[in-house]
Amino acid sequence: MPKKDLIEGLTNNKRILRQLVSVIEAEAIHRRIKDYWTIYEHVDHLVVTQKMLLGRIRQFLAEERPVMKPYIPEDKPEVENASKSAAELVDEFERLRDEQVSLIKKAKRGVWQKAGIHPEYKKYSFEILIRHTLLHDSFHMWRMEELWIEKEELIKELN
């Protein structure tokens, strides 16, 4: 996938997240449905993972063959930013995303072709990391929208 398309997708996702969170009613942001993550927990998770992903981007930029440490979130996440509103979390997500995009834009061809090691995957590269970041955003935003608008009895069993 072309570098510019991935960068555009990452940039668009921050706007999509902001718009999505801005239209969800305050009570829905924290509403617990069964044992599923709340919308707030999804937004918090996106912020937490952006920090980890930013670290991985830096590893690819600095190391010849970076080795990734697996990140496995809890089934019931401990909210790391409980004192912040959902809008403040989106602000943090945007700041982290801007930093990521700035580094990605500076990455030379050799970084894009670089292979890394991730114990959970058969293959891992800078491009896979960037695409994974984009798709991870989209998965959680889809789940947030589902938790917001879908009839509770139809919500699927996943976080």
User: Which domains does the chain possess?
Assistant: 3-154 (1.20.120.450)
Task: Write out the two tokens for 88.
Answer: 């403040």
Is pLDDT above 60 for 159?
no
SS3 117: strand
The mean pLDDT value for 100-123 works out to 96
Query: So what's the pLDDT on residue 76?
Result: 61
pLDDT, the chain, mean: 93
Task: Summarize pLDDT for 29-68 with one digit per residue, the tens.
Answer: 999 998 899 999 999 999 999 999 999 999 999 999 999 9
Query: So what's the pLDDT on residue 48?
Result: 94
Within 10 angstroms of residue 104's Cβ, the number of other Cβ atoms is 21
Task: Summarize pLDDT for 65-106 with one digit per residue, the tens.
Answer: 999 999 887 666 667 667 899 999 999 999 999 999 999 999
Q: What are phi and psi of 139, to 5 degrees?
A: -60, -50
